[in-house]
Copies of this chain bind each other. A is one copy, B any other.
């Protein structure tokens, strides 16, 4: 790092890339050298915000540069593994949006390169950095709940993704539930068995790809505790994310309180608003995860969530997909 600054290449200027750009702009220890997107005008649009010196349409030009210390990968999923490997080869610290890849082998390959090169690697499970989840984790670790016995989380998106996205998503468990599986591991530890039930309730596109739009999935944890994850691709009231950890001494509920601190009392009672999507619910968490990544890079400590977290959440998602297909409980040891 020159001048005590971390020089960064931002790969991908789509929705998530733009979110990360806002935060990169505000970190004094970070200097964005280049923004990359094949749609060069998207890269240009971000450029002034992050005060980038250059833009490019070619990610390989970014990962091969010597004057870049770290990359933030926000490109489409099917490009992640190759970019991770190229960046690792040139010794860059890597922040990558989830998932590394949609299949286990490709994921393991890419992470093997990361391990071999010993570069810092962080996967984009931003929820871990939300003040509610982070505080829940601290209390769990501090033993406030004692033995943990049950876990429940719900993950509902406001609306299904576009058809083209769905086609390449890997299915609901790999695309959406993988976030819930990560939070389950974060708060409860390793998962040993899953039993997934799913259905197509409202979204014909899902059927077309052999996918589902609704799922309720049992989890068994290595500790013996039981869990459940509920998912839907559509919730008219917005983004639904409530997590409950139940244990010997009580329970913790991470619950999205109203987005706006306003209660409106009217003729029929009172009403509050609700978060619309993960971008407004987890805005501060996106900032905090990047901050943690750059702090790790600056301090030379391994970032978290790291390669194991990227891999394990994928294994659970694959097990859930198999459970649904084969209509039976699937042990993680099978994956």
User: A262 and B136: CB pair below 8 A?
Assistant: yes
Would A248 and B26 count as touching, CB distance under 8 A? no
Give the contacting residue for A201; candidates B25, B28, B149; CB below 8 A.
Answer: B149
Do A265 and B237 touch (CB < 8 A)? yes
A257 near B267: Cβ-Cβ < 8 Å: no
Q: Are A263 and B255 in touch, CB under 8 angstroms?
A: yes
**In chain A, residues 204-218, which have Cβ atoms closer than 8 Å to a Cβ of chain B?**
214-216, 218
Of B49, B152, B218, B224, which contacts A28 at CB under 8 A? Answer: B49
CB–CB B149/A262 < 8 A: no
Q: How distant is the Cα of A272 from the Cα of B268 in the complex, in angstroms?
A: 8
* Given A228-B230, A230-B150, also A269-B267 (CB < 8 A): no
Interface flags, A43-82, vs B, CB<8A=1, else 0: 0000011010000000000000000000000000000000
Cross-chain contact B197 with A131 (CB below 8 angstroms): no
In the complex the two chains form, what is the Cα distance from A130 to B195 in whole Å?
Answer: 33
Give A130 to B262 CA distance when docked, in angstroms.
Answer: 10
Given A226-B197, A253-B263, A254-B262, verify A202-B132 contact (CB < 8 Å): no
Question: Is A118 part of the contact surface with B, judged by Cβ < 8 Å?
Answer: no
Chain B, residue nearest A287 (CB): B26
Which residues on A are within 8 Å of B, measured CB to CB?
22, 25-26, 28, 48-49, 51, 130-132, 135-136, 139, 144, 147, 149-150, 152, 154, 156, 195, 197-199, 201-202, 214-216, 218, 220, 224-228, 230, 232, 235-238, 240, 246, 248-274, 327-329
